[in-house]
Amino acid sequence: MANVGNGTKDDWKLTLLSPVLAAVYTIIACLAVLGNGMVITVMLLRRRVFSSFTNRLILHQSVIDSLAGVLYFLQRAVINTHEMSVSTEGTLKDQLICRLLLQDFAPLIVSVTSTYNLVMISVERFMATCHPVRHRNTWTKAKLKFAVGIPWCIGFIYSSHFMFVAEAHQGRCRPTDMVRGLKIVQGSVVIGIEYLVPITILIYTYSRIIITLTKKSANPRNAPRNVINKAKKNVLVTMLLIGSLFVVCWTPPIVLYIYEQFSEEGLMLQYSITILLACNAFVNPIIYCFKYEHFRSELRNLVIGRCRRNQVHDRAAAAPRIINEP
């Protein structure tokens, strides 16, 4: 979502970020990089075990969220803690400050990409559960690059329009003059692309998955498939939690955005409210550790295996060496 700014709607001030908020964003960035880095490490070291289409998309999700943590840190804890000024000449530098930095352009691209990668995971799980034959024929590993590329395309194409909704004018950043009808269209696109479309797809796909798995579990002929269904349900519960946290993290910013579109003054919650969006970058690894049994078991095996190798090396180093003298 675009940075709505502080102050009145006719003047977006370039205010400095407080040390407390800068520290909060730094902690969030560290958690995002460390948590998602752990997921990336486990899945790459156990790439044969995590070779399914879903796990590849989960790996991609962790890469996106790691990048989001870094970008939020650079945008909030680095750039927004230094004084920035806009000259009255409206130079290229001034336009870049107002159109890109004030708009959180780079973090916005990654946030939207992360959202639609979650949507891609939900669609893939929907096809695998509700239309398994078609899923085997269409969702092949050769198509993985398209599943990875589509969220990035949506993120770049959608976010590009925010470069034109702000401008430098007489030493200040201000919203670009637009007729009321165009503002309504722009606001509708923001709410639809960032919130309504992904929420609708997530609700529909996971509802259909739950209904399908419930019917299969009730059928006694499917008793031999209980193990497979249990694994599918575990993945489903994991992704449902991730989708629920997406709703929690994105709803307040959307509500704030709608309020500011119809109010005379903006709320001074700009930095505080985007903390929720930043938090969405590190919550997924926590869910994997607590709910995704397959990931948890592989992580435990890696840690235990590493500890055992260290014990063997320590014992070997402590053992006395026998030197055969001539």
Q: Is residue 3 part of a domain?
A: no
The SS3 of residue 135 is helix
Alpha helices in the chain (DSSP H): 19-45, 53-72, 92-96, 105-130, 132-138, 144-159, 180-191, 197-218, 226-262, 270-279, 283-291, 293-318
* CATH code, 203: 1.20.1070.10
pLDDT at 36: 93
Q: Is residue 313 part of a domain?
A: no
Asked if pLDDT for residue 153 goes beyond 50, the answer is: yes
Q: Is residue 209 part of a domain?
A: yes
Cβ atoms of 124 and 54 within 8 Å: the answer is yes
Taking the CB of residue 137, how many other CB atoms lie within 10 A of it? Answer: 9
Cβ atoms of 199 and 128 within 8 Å: the answer is no
The C-alpha atoms of residue 282 and residue 289 are separated, in whole angstroms, by 12
More confident residue, 65 or 260: 65
The C-alpha atoms of residue 112 and residue 117 are separated, in whole angstroms, by 9
Q: In terms of residue numbers, what domain contains 246?
A: 19-307
DSSP string across 215-278: HHHH-GGGGGGHHHHHHHHHHHHHHHHHHHHHHHHHHHHHHHHHHHHHSSB--S-HHHHHHHHH
Candidates 274, 275, 278; CA nearest to 2 is 274
Q: What is the pLDDT of residues 38-78, one digit of tens each?
A: 999 999 998 888 888 989 999 999 999 999 999 888 887 88
**Beta-bridge mates of residue 174:** 167
Q: Is residue 325 part of a domain?
A: no
Q: Is residue 268 part of a domain?
A: yes
Candidates 41, 4, 79, 10; CA nearest to 288 is 41
Largest CA distance in the chain: 97
Q: What is the pLDDT of residues 141-151, one digit of tens each?
A: 788 999 999 99
Question: In which band, very low, low, confident or very high, does the pLDDT at 123 lie, cut at 50, 70 and 90?
Answer: very high
Q: Is residue 6 part of a domain?
A: no
Which of 105-114, 133-142, 236-245 has the weakest average pLDDT?
A: 236-245
Q: Is residue 316 part of a domain?
A: no
Asked if pLDDT for residue 267 goes beyond 80, the answer is: no
The C-alpha atoms of residue 277 and residue 254 are separated, in whole angstroms, by 11
Split into its structural domains, the chain has a count of: 1
Asked if pLDDT for residue 323 goes beyond 50, the answer is: no
Cβ atoms of 177 and 95 within 8 Å: the answer is no
Q: Is residue 321 part of a domain?
A: no
pLDDT at 4: 41
